[in-house]
A and B are shown apart, each in its own frame.
Chain A
Amino acid sequence: MIDEKLLEEAKQSVLDGDKELAAKLARQGLDAGVDPVEFIEKGFVPGIMEVGDLFESGEIFLPEVMMAADAVKEAVGILNEAIEASGKKRGGAAKVVLATVEADLHDIGKGIVASLMVANGFEVIDLGRDVPSQKIVDTAIEEGADIIGTSALLTTTMTHQKEIEELLKEKGLKGKIKTMVGGAPVTERWQKKIGADGFGENAADAVRLVKELMGKKTN
């Protein structure tokens, strides 16, 4: 059992976007011998998920979310190292390949999605921005990923998300590697139209979606 006060402080450090404090609390927890997995899941993750919800409801905006994502990344990084050092693994983790599609340079949103996914225990391979569809699909195959998540911020680059569906179909991997799409002009209607497996409105939504898709996954 981790002290409630420590969990609350961890959560608050993320809500405040206080990277130094989040890191300090992570170390403090380790020194006190807490279970790092539990610390992440009961302290830092609830913090970042609440940040996601506050963003969705329009109470906070991009700067606050970026600060929070940065804080959680730092704390989870420290705790993940401890988990690895102990030879343990966080259970039930999904492996996700993330990228902003070709000819699109917007990667703030995708970066936040990556931070939240890592915090939630998913293994994330972030290919960056302006990534060709073929490379995204090839990486997912090589890495044995469960999910491909792509971001597109332009109406003209959204079409690459469709291209990924087609590449997966060609290789007979449609449904085996699940796909999720996001980005400002991307809608649920678009997701259905191209046959992607899920649409995330924001980063917190994307995390919930990964969990849902992993639940549905049939190999």
Chain B
Amino acid sequence: MIFKTLRHEKTNEIPWVPFAGVHAGKLKGYTAEEVLTDADKLVESLLEVKRIYEPDGMPITFDLQVEAEIFGCELLWAKDNPPSVRSHPLSGEKKIPCKCEIPTPDSGRIPLILDATRRVKREIGDEVALYGLICGPFTLASHLRGSEIFMDMIKDQEYVTALVDYCAEVACKMAEYYIDAGVDVVAVVDPLVSQVSPAHIDKMLAPAFTAVFDFIRSKGVFSSFFVCGNATRQIDAMCRTNPDSISIDENVDLAKAKEITDKYNITIGGNLPLTTTMLLGNQQDNMVEVIKLIDSVKDHRNFIISPGCDMPYDTPIENTIAAGQAVKRPEQARKMVENYEAAEEDIEVEIPDYENLDKVLIEVFTLDSDTCAACTYMLKSVTDIYDEIKDIADYVEYKYTDKENIARMKKMGVNALPSIYINGEPKWESIIPSREELIRDIESALKK
């Protein structure tokens, strides 16, 4: 479906591309640093992203510091963020690095990313479009030169052009390595483009970007231009660099931006709010935000829904599930939101007297186990062991599609779907238990 959208054809659904960068690690209990430095952990996390979030497209990594690190930028690592660049080798020294410094497939962490790409491609490459993310030439130039690059743009435009052109050569090489390893889309991620004027983009950056997008096209894969921050004024200039698609952040009005990208017949993706909705909101907020986004756009051709930028590590898993569910089944989500608003406390629901039940009661709360993958797996974790536990436990599923169930969830304070409650206690929220873990929880409830 991503391919159809990127070929600018009509699709039946809107594609969903959650940018689970370091957040992928959260799904498997790994830190940001672990998934960005250990191929096994990265692959394991990415397979989980595919399983739980059912994306149409997904990034392998979202780390704009891979190239910079190879050029000698010192990194500050964090457990819940991609690393940041601490030092800039060209700070105070205006020069262009030697071509001999251009990364090879063996430099820095590139082998790890290529290895992960090949393995993920083998496992799920037929079902999901893999995005290889490279650092955009302007952001890479700023990593190398530091904040002086902004003043250079006014004082020494020739230098900026030369440095950005060099970084574009790096970008082409990176794109080539990722394409050879099997990515379907190369995303040129350049958050800093939002910080400079359209005139400066046209003059100093556009030729470099166009060269990268042309190169990607010549290799037979799709390209995307990712920008973070408020790029409202830059969208037009970005379109003129001729990528297949553009992905924008939350501070841009997507409907308005799409009017511009449509003129160029470029696909646009975006732009669920990262902090207020995905990180700090609840499942309702995420569904509402997706529906709002869908409704704001008239023509659903050339349209991808994704977070505004790299998802925060700690984004609640259930929020992403809810957002994905709303993208894939907007009418059902609309109904759920309506029901949520209608399900006032006065719908009578009886909460079981857990302490005096004959058997342990497992309650599985789902958005809808028929349509949401994470919900299906959550329910399946129970049905798979049912034969073993049926003498000591019963189970029941409550789907969010029903008003009465919503009232029950409100009364019990259930706010993450899917989840498993055992005798009224929340045990598993969004994370699906293994067979052993679930049996252990049921047995311990029995002993109480």
Chain A: residues with CB nearer than 8 A to chain B? 17, 58, 60-64, 66-67, 70, 103-108, 111, 130, 154-157, 184-185, 187, 189-190
Contacts and interface: CB of A to CB of B under 8 A. Distances in A.
A73 B416 CA distance: 51
A105 B85 contact: yes
A64 B196 CA distance: 9
A111 B233 CA distance: 24
Contact of A63 (B80, B154, B312): B154
B195 interface: yes
Given A103-B78, A105-B86, A187-B276, A70 B151 contact: yes
Contacts of B340: none
B79 to A, nearest CB: 9
Given A105-B76, A155-B274, A66 B147 contact: yes
A63 B276 contact: no
B313 A61 contact: no
Contacts of B230: 58
Chief secondary structure at chain B's binding surface: mixed
B78, B151, B276: most-surrounded residue (chain A CB, <10 A)? B151
A66 B148 CA distance: 9
Interface of B: 76, 78, 80-81, 84-86, 147, 150-151, 153-154, 195-197, 200, 229-230, 232-233, 274-276, 279, 312-314
A103 B85 CA distance: 11
A69 B42 CA distance: 43
A179 to B, nearest CB: 19
Contact of B275 (A64, A67, A155): A155
Contact of B150 (A108, A154, A190): A108
Given A62-B196, A103-B78, 19 more contacts: A58-B232, A61-B196, A62-B195, A63-B150, A63-B154, A63-B200, A64-B197, A66-B151, A70-B151, A111-B147, A130-B76, A154-B81, A155-B312, A156-B81, A156-B314, A157-B81, A184-B229, A185-B274, A187-B275
21 contacts: A58-B230, A58-B233, A61-B195, A61-B196, A61-B197, A62-B150, A63-B151, A63-B153, A63-B154, A63-B195, A64-B154, A66-B147, A103-B81, A105-B76, A108-B147, A155-B279, A156-B78, A156-B313, A187-B275, A187-B276, A190-B275
Nearest to A62: B195
Contacts of B154: 17, 63-64, 67
A62 B142 CA distance: 13
Nearest to B83: A105
Contacts of B276: 187, 189
B151 A67 contact: yes
A187 B274 CA distance: 12
B197 A156 contact: no
Nearest to A186: B275
Contacts of A108: 147, 150
B307 to A, nearest CB: 12
Contacts of A156: 78, 80-81, 312-314
A157 B274 CA distance: 14
